[in-house]
């Protein structure tokens, strides 16, 4: 048993180095394949962050009358949070609203001069998020019949309705596009890897036929080719892992602004175990399965 295992390893290395050109082509193909699969994982994380960021902006605001005590608004917030259709309720005081406005328009002297002429004109309010865009009308109806509705001065849903619907439609489009892109990339990856490894094994078809003629078992013949695939998978994994981390290191700062603060490198490092398993497992699975299927063709002839 041990002698057979040593033979498998020895012949696997020999096959790998005796056909070094094809072996390097196989490693390159596997590396590209693993990078494709890794990109799906990274893009999915970025898309989820973008979807959450967009949906957080798709809120409605209930403005309370100036004279409404803060304690009463807190009670209203607690009541709203019990509604199963409401995802999140955030309280913004008059002081916080003023600070947000001031920070946003700090570099506009005309607005700042006009603001200084008045006492704080902002009202305390509740920002309300739901899980789905179609739930907003129900929540608005709930607010209008709410026990605290007499304290609410304005609900800004109608003017924000078109924007909210567009945001949710866009995020649904991102999710669907992500699924389609993932399926297409995985299909291309599998076909590309299989065909390259199949080409590598074509050079050994005569050797396989001779081994069959002398009575070697199928697993005796398969072993070295499967190990050869594992060697290619291992080198491809190392290369793809280094490329992924290096690429994200240089790319993350440039894309962070466009991805609403999402840092690609930090996401990869936070999920390093998952990324490691995807790349190592993907390399091993693609290499071994493709080698197994390709060798089988010549075992049947």
Note down pLDDT in tens along the chain; length 301 residues: 555 667 667 766 776 777 677 778 778 888 888 888 888 788 778 877 776 676 666 678 888 888 888 888 888 888 888 888 888 888 888 888 778 878 777 777 777 776 666 677 788 888 888 877 677 788 878 777 777 788 888 887 656 666 666 766 776 776 677 677 767 766 776 677 677 667 666 666 676 667 666 666 666 767 777 787 888 888 989 999 999 999 888 888 887 777 767 888 888 888 999 999 988 888 888 888 877 777 776 666 5
Does the reported pTM lie above 0.75?
Answer: no
- Is 240 within 8 Å of 283 (Cβ atoms)? yes
59-160 CATH fold: Alpha-Beta Plaits (3.30.70)
Q: What is the dihedral of CA 82, 88, 93, 95, to 10 degrees?
A: 170
> CATH 3.30.70.3040: which residues of the chain?
59-160
């Amino acid at each position: 048993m041990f002698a057979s295992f040593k033979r498998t390893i020895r012949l696997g290395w020999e096959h790998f180095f005796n056909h070094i050109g094809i072996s390097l082509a196989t490693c390159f193909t596997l590396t590209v394949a693993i990078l494709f699969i890794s990109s799906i994982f990274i893009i999915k994380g970025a898309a989820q962050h973008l979807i959450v960021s967009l949906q957080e902006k798709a809120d409605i605001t209930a403005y309370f009358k100036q004279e409404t005590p803060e304690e009463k608004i807190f009670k209203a917030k607690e009541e709203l949070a019990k509604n199963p259709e409401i995802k999140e309720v955030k309280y913004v005081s008059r002081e916080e609203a003023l600070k947000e406005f001031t920070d946003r328009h700090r570099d506009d002297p005309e607005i700042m001069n006009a603001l200084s002429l008045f006492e704080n004109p902002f009202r305390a309010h509740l920002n309300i998020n739901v899980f789905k865009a179609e739930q907003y009308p129900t929540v608005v109806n709930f607010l209008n019949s709410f026990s605290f509705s007499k304290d609410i001065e304005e609900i800004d849903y109608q003017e924000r309705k078109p924007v909210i619907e567009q945001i949710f439609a866009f995020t649904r489009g991102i999710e669907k596009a992500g699924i389609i892109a993932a399926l297409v990339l995985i299909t291309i990856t599998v076909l590309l890897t299989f065909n390259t490894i199949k080409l590598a094994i074509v050079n050994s078809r005569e050797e396989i036929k001779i081994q069959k003629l002398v009575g070697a078992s199928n697993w005796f013949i398969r072993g070295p080719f499967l190990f050869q695939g594992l060697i290619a998978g291992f080198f491809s994994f190392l290369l793809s892992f280094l490329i992924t981390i290096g690429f994200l290191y240089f790319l993350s700062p440039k894309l962070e602004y466009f991805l609403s603060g999402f840092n690609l490198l930090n996401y990869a490092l936070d999920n390093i175990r998952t990324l490691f398993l995807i790349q190592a497992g993907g390399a091993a699975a693609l290499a071994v399965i493709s080698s197994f299927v390709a060798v089988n063709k010549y075992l049947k002839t």
